[in-house]
Structure formats: C-alpha cells, structure tokens
A and B are shown apart, each in its own frame.
Chain A
Amino acid sequence: MHAAYPAVVSALLFSVGVYGVLARRNAILVLMSVELMLNAVNLNLVAFDALWRDRLHGGQVLTLFTIVIAAAEIGLGLAIVLLVFRNRRMVEVDRLTELGEARRRPAAAEPEPEPVAAAREGDGT
C-alpha cells in the first residue's frame, strides 16, 4: 500500500478537525473536532508503524497513549462544558469571553490615567 493514502486521509481528517475547532460555536462540537485531530494523528502513527515494520511498534504504543490521554481530556472537557451549561444555559464558545479585556463604553475609550480614579468611578456606579 502506498504511504500517500493514509497520509492524505489523516490530513483531511486533521483539516476537518481544525475547521471544527476554529469555526464551530458549540463547545461539544469543538471537543469532538479536537478528537478528530487526535485521531488523524493516531491514523498516521499506526500507518507509518505498519509501513516501516517497526520492531518495537512505537507508533502503536504511542497511539494507545494518545487514546488514553484523549479519553481523559474528553472527560475533563465534558465536565467543564457541563458546568458551563449549568451556569449559563448555553455552551457557545464565542460568547464565553469573561476573561477577555473588558469592553469599554465609548465615553471611556481613552486609557484611564490613574487606577485610583478608575476605582472611584467603579464605586460610584
């Protein structure tokens, strides 16, 4: 079998995963896309392990590792998604921007000169 087949398949699979991670809004679908990317890597590992007849089967062993890590990751990720859903009733990734730089009102578009003044302003509102 030619090496190009599994390589192309896994490249396609990876691209689908990348697209999903970057473009999907649903957190669960994002997680699934991550799994797609991991599996693209797994496919490569297994294919080249078989192709080069590796005596130690390093590729397959590494694949097993990846699967275990992926399982752990998905468990953790789904738990987080579950908690986010419980808190917010939605799991849309692009609306979860709490950690970003705060959106400022148009009036305070200039950088505030002193943090003290900002704090006082915050107290007032």
Chain B
Amino acid sequence: MIVLASLAIALPFCAAFAGMLLGPRLSRLLGARPLPAAESGTGSGTPDAPTTPLPVVRPETGPVPGGGPRAAEMGRLVTADFALRGLPRNGPALIAVVPTAVATVLALVVALTLWRDPGVRGGTLTLVPTGSVDIAIGLQVDGLAALVGLMVCLVALAVQVYSVAYMAKDPRYSSYAAFVSLFTAAMLLVVYAGDLLLLYVGWEVMGVCSYFLIGHHWEERANSRAAVKAFLVTRLGDVGFLLGIFVLGIGAGTFSIGGVLDAVPQLPAGTLTAATLLLLAGVAGKSAQFPLHTWLPDAMAGPTPISALIHAATMVAAGIYVIARLYPAFLAAPGTLTVLGIVAVISMLGSALAALAQDDLKRVLAYSTISQLAYMAAGLAVGAQTAAIFHLVAHGAFKALLFLAAGSVIFVAGSNLLGHYGGLRRAMPVTFWSMTVGYAALVGLPPVSGFFSKDAIIEGARHTAALAGHREPGAGEQGHAALGAAAEVPPPVPDIPAGAAWLIYIGLLVTVGVTAAYATRAWLMTFFGEQRTSFEAREAPALMTWTVAALAVPAALLGFFGLGAAELRPHLVSAGVSLLWAAGGIAVAHLLWNRDPALDPADRLGPVRKVFDRAFYVDEVYAALVVRPVRAVARAVVATDRHGIDALVVGTAGWSRRAGGALRRVQTGNAQAYLTGLLAGVIVIAAGVVILL
C-alpha cells in the first residue's frame, strides 16, 4: 500500500520531466496536424483586465522558453474547441493527464483500503545518517493523509483536464502542464510524507512550482512581480517552518512524524510552544493567514486553473494539513492555538470584508480563500480537528469548482472585472448552475457540502467557548495533564482562554454574514441583470464546462459523508444562528443590488469601500515598514560600496602609481648613471660586509 502511495507520488513527478522534455516530440510522433484557422473567434480578444490576461496569443510566439518547437503553430492555429478532439494527439496534454489520472486511481485505492481497515501504515525506504538525528525517507499514510491525498489528486486531475482547453492557445502549455504535474507530486509528497524533513522537501518544491506558475505569463511585469512577491513572502514563513521542524525534531530525537507525536507528552512545554509557533509562521505563509497573506490576492496573476489548483484547493491547504498532521503537538501548546485562533479571526473577517469590495472576480475568490482557510485554522484552534479537515476537503472541492467556473466566465467574457459581466445566466447555464452550487457551499447553505463543514467548525467553537467559560482559572494544569495522558475525550478541547474562544466563535458567525454578502454580490453581478460590455456570451468549451460540472457533484454531495461522524452532524443551535447570519448577508446584498442591477452593490459602502478594496492598506503598511527601509538600506549599501570599497580600490591604484613615480624619476636612460649606481651599491655592500663581519 505504501508502494501504491509512492507510485502515486512518482508518477506525476516523472510526468513533469517527461512532459517538459518529450511533450512536443510526442505530439509530433502522434501526428498532430495544424488546424484550419477557421475556428478562431472564441471570444478571447485582447482582454482589458488590469491584472490577469487571458491565454492570448502573443505576437512573439517564437522561441519562448519551454514552449517547444510547436509553440508557434499551436499559438496560431489550435483553438480551444479543438482541444477535446485533439486530445489523443496532444503530447503534453497526454503526458500531463494520464499519469495524474493513474495517480488518482492509486490514491483512491489507498483511501479505500484505509476506509475498510483504518490504521496507520508506514514504510521507510532508507535512513539518511546525518550524525545526530537521522532522516528517514519514508511515507506514512493514515485516514487523514489518504483523504487529503485523494482530494489533491482529484482536483489536480480536474485542473489538468480543464487546462487542456483553457491553455490550448498558450505557446508554453508544455512547461505549464509539467509544472502542474510537479506540483501535484510535491503536494502528494507533503501529504504522504512520514518524515518532517521529507515533508519540508515537498513543501518547498510546491513553493517553487507556485512561483513558476504565478509567473507563467511573465511577459507582463506585474505577473513576474506577483510571482516574486509570493515566493518571498512564503519563504519568509518557511524559515520559521524549518526552524520549527528542527526544534521539534531535535527535541523529540527523531524527525519521523509518528516518533515526534509519540514524544510530545515528554517534551517540555516551552519547547513545544516555541516549535509550534515557529511552525505556525510557515503555516501562515503557506496558507495565507494574516501577517503573511498579502501574496495570495496578487498570485491571481497566474492562469486561472493555477489559482484553482494551487491558490485555492491544495497548496494553501497544506499549512492547515500540517497543523492537523501534528495536531497533538499543537494541542499540548495552548498558547500557540490561541495565537492561531486570533490570527484566524483577523484573517477571516478582514479578508471577507476585503472580498466585499473587490472589482476583480478572481480577487474576490482569493480573499474568500484566505477567509475559508482561516475557518479551518479557527476550527483547529478550538479543537475541532475533524471539522477543520472536513472543511478543508469540502473547500478543496467547492473552491476548485468556483475558480474553474470563474475561469470559464473569464474565458468567455475576456475580462476579470465583475463590472464587465452580467446576465450570463442564460448564455452559460452549466457554468451558472455549477457556480451556484459553489457559492452555496461557500456561504454554507443547507444541502451542499459547505453547510455541514462550516457548521461543524462553528459548533466546535461554540462548544469550546462554552467550556472555556465554565472552566475555573486553576484548571489549566488538570486539563493539560488529561490531554497529555490520552485524548480519550472526543473531541479534545484545547486549553485556550475563554475570551479567545468567544472571539473566535463570534468572528466565525460574523464572517458567515459577510461571506454571504460578497458571494451574493459576485453571483448577482456575474449572472443576473443585463450584459454590461459587448462580448459573445456563449458556453465555454466542452472540456472546461464539463470539468466544472463534474466538480459540482462532490461540492454538492460531500457534506453527506459527514453525517457518518458524530462531531460532524449539524447542530440545531449553531446551524440556525449561522443560517440567520447568512440569510442576513444575502438579503442585504440582494436588496442593495436590486435597487439598480446595473450598479455595483459595493458602491453603497461609500468611503469604506476604498479601505476594503485595498484590503485595509496592509500592502501599503508593508511598503512603509519593510520595503522602504530595505530599499534605503540597499541604497546605503550601494553608496558604501561605491564611495567606500570601490574608492579604496581605485585609490590604491592611484597611490601605487604615485609611489612608482618616484622610482620612475631614477630611470633616466643614461647607462653610465646606472653603472655608477651599480658600483656604489657594490661598494656599500662590500663595506657593509667588511664592517659587520
């Protein structure tokens, strides 16, 4: 079974390299022929979107890096509708889709095996001796890993299939698909890793893939800047993450996840708190939580399927997954959980409010991703681990659905801006219904998955808040000891302060309302009213539409799987309260919109809108606090280099030339003078020898 899991990792990994090296050659081998150019005009004219372009044909489709020899002809001739018919002959697409599909089947087999026979399976390939703590190259699969792995594979498969059509015109599709495969392999490595350092390897490879994919259209400066920003910000968190791994691994004497978790009761509280706080830095970076969240909205510069895969469904979930994986360590450090909870409340509410005012559909979804990830983090902070993972999987499904559907809308409308859509309900029925399911799941309306998972988190928060309120001040020790002994109380309640627990609970509820409002706004502005700009409204290519529709099925039905577990069943009180909030949000958004469907309901926010639109000026604060000082220091360094070090070197040359000038004066060219000097020297030496010896 471990073999299957490792195969599931290895397949996309090999596919990445194969796709990069052999993709275009394979399609030549299969005899792909260029199409007649008649099928152009799928509505993908030059987009006037400020941030993200469509996969437009660029004028310079010459030798672009990674594009392969067919780049030019692909860019000129292949249209998106051809993608489906051309799939059996499209080399890079085959290399991308088939291994991912096989990996999905393998992940499914792994998950089913664990479903029938729960337990932890592990296997170690080899031990890397390091001198102190050995590194085990090994995998470990339990129910959590199998579930998340299956979700990753499914989303990756959907994205790969979708991209075949979406990116059909892109001259660098080959490298794009290869990076998606590499990303899938890295994410599966994170999910299945049995060792913290192995997990870190996958974690970093994901970061690199994210960098390359955000900057896929690097011809535009904004995109490559967004890629660099994402890379730097997540790397900042990763420093903490790596140090946290070291603290935890050296404290426990092993890097294997099972070993670390076994050693948690023996570890001193200070070590655990330090390690988990450091890990939290990496989690905040990867999962885009409050202090390090600024990269995610900008990362929407990447192609839309990438946003679906990396920045919504999988990579950002890796941070949450790592907390869940190491949850006993976090439970034993209530201080960290308190920090996590407060960070989550700030992230969820702030980004939900920011989503309310965004013009760009993808940025709305990006901020909603931050908000939903904060839900999971809050769930983890209040001890609702199962609920958080449930929400992670549900979110993976519905957010991938939302992003891919948004990609279809963008593909058809040729713009990212909400203000350019309108009235797409009739023209794009499949996309409309799929996206409706996605929004319903995002808001948490009853029959679909988001309702169950969100409700479980809110109920967990209420439970913890109620317990924390009744706990005596001195009971911390006791609760800690009980946790250390065994987690026999399902679910274990972390020892966070009552105030924080209530804050989380209230934050969760308020965010439900705001989420409902922004989701309703985006939904109404996209699909209802009148079409605001002129474009040919039609359904997106079949390959894209049906992928979206297929994703709508798990997004809608996943919730019912939660009925099997006691802590995931909906509770009347919290479900009722959150539904009230959601209804309020929807009602407000709808009323504002209904006054004048042509206008943006967010305009009613007045001057606050600007604040929300800029996401509370966090970017500006960072620019003032970090970017400008760093620039000033850099300028100072350059000045020191130029006027200090360089001047010293140049000055040395001047000094030695001046010193040499004295010697030059002796060189008169008069041979007799030289000889006189020689004789004088001989006499001096001889005299010296005679006198001294």
Contacts and interface: CB of A to CB of B under 8 A. Distances in A.
A113 B654 contact: yes
Cβ-closest 6 pairs across A and B: A100-B669, A97-B669, A101-B667, A100-B668, A101-B664, A111-B661
Contacts of A96: 669, 671
User: What's the interface size class on A, roughly?
Assistant: 10 to 19
A42 B658 CA distance: 47
A96 B673 CA distance: 12
A22 B669 contact: no
Contacts of A18: 679
17 contacts: A18-B679, A21-B672, A21-B675, A22-B672, A22-B676, A93-B670, A93-B671, A93-B672, A98-B669, A99-B669, A100-B667, A100-B668, A100-B669, A100-B670, A101-B664, A111-B657, A111-B660
Interface of A: 18, 21-23, 30, 93-94, 96-101, 111, 113
Nearest to A113: B654
Nearest to A109: B661
Interface string B243-286: 00000000000000000000000000000000000000000000
Given A22-B679, A96-B671, A111-B657, 13 more contacts: A21-B672, A22-B672, A22-B675, A22-B676, A93-B670, A93-B671, A96-B669, A97-B669, A98-B669, A101-B664, A101-B665, A111-B654, A113-B654
Best-surrounded residue of B661, B672, B675 (most CB of chain A within 10 A)? B672
A89 B657 CA distance: 37
B373 to A, nearest CB: 61
A36 to B, nearest CB: 15
A26 to B, nearest CB: 12
Contacts of B664: 101
Contact of A94 (B667, B672, B679): B672
B654 to A, nearest CB: 7
A71 B679 CA distance: 25
Nearest to B653: A113
A98 B670 CA distance: 9
Nearest to A112: B657
Contacts of B665: 101
Q: Looking at B660, B671, B676, which has the most chain A CB atoms within 10 Å of its CB?
A: B671
B665 to A, nearest CB: 7
Contacts of B668: 97, 100-101
Contacts of B667: 100-101
A68 to B, nearest CB: 24
Contacts of B654: 111, 113
Contacts of A97: 668-670
A106 B657 CA distance: 18
Nearest to B657: A111
A100 B671 CA distance: 9
Contacts of B673: 94
A34 B672 CA distance: 13
Contacts of A94: 670, 672-673
A90 B679 CA distance: 27
Nearest to A99: B669
A111 B669 contact: no
B675 to A, nearest CB: 6
A101 B669 CA distance: 7
A73 B376 CA distance: 101
Contacts of B661: 111
B134 to A, nearest CB: 61
A20 to B, nearest CB: 11
Contacts of B675: 21-22
A60 B241 CA distance: 92
Contact of A111 (B658, B670, B671, B672): B658
A114 B308 CA distance: 61
A21 B671 CA distance: 10
Contacts of A93: 670-672
A10 to B, nearest CB: 18
A87 to B, nearest CB: 16
A51 to B, nearest CB: 24
A111 B672 CA distance: 27
Nearest to A23: B672
A97 to B, nearest CB: 3
Nearest to A94: B670
B76 to A, nearest CB: 52
Nearest to A100: B669
A15 B514 CA distance: 113
A33 to B, nearest CB: 11
A45 to B, nearest CB: 21
Interface in B646-668: 654, 657-658, 660-661, 664-665, 667-668
A100 B660 CA distance: 15
A21 B672 CA distance: 7
A104 to B, nearest CB: 10
Nearest to B663: A101
Contacts of A101: 664-665, 667-669
A5 B664 CA distance: 45
B655 to A, nearest CB: 10
A81 to B, nearest CB: 13
A23 B679 CA distance: 13
A103 B669 CA distance: 10
B686 to A, nearest CB: 14
Contacts of A100: 667-670
A23 B676 CA distance: 9
A97 B669 CA distance: 4
B279 to A, nearest CB: 58
A23 B673 CA distance: 9
B17 to A, nearest CB: 51
Contacts of A98: 669
A52 to B, nearest CB: 25
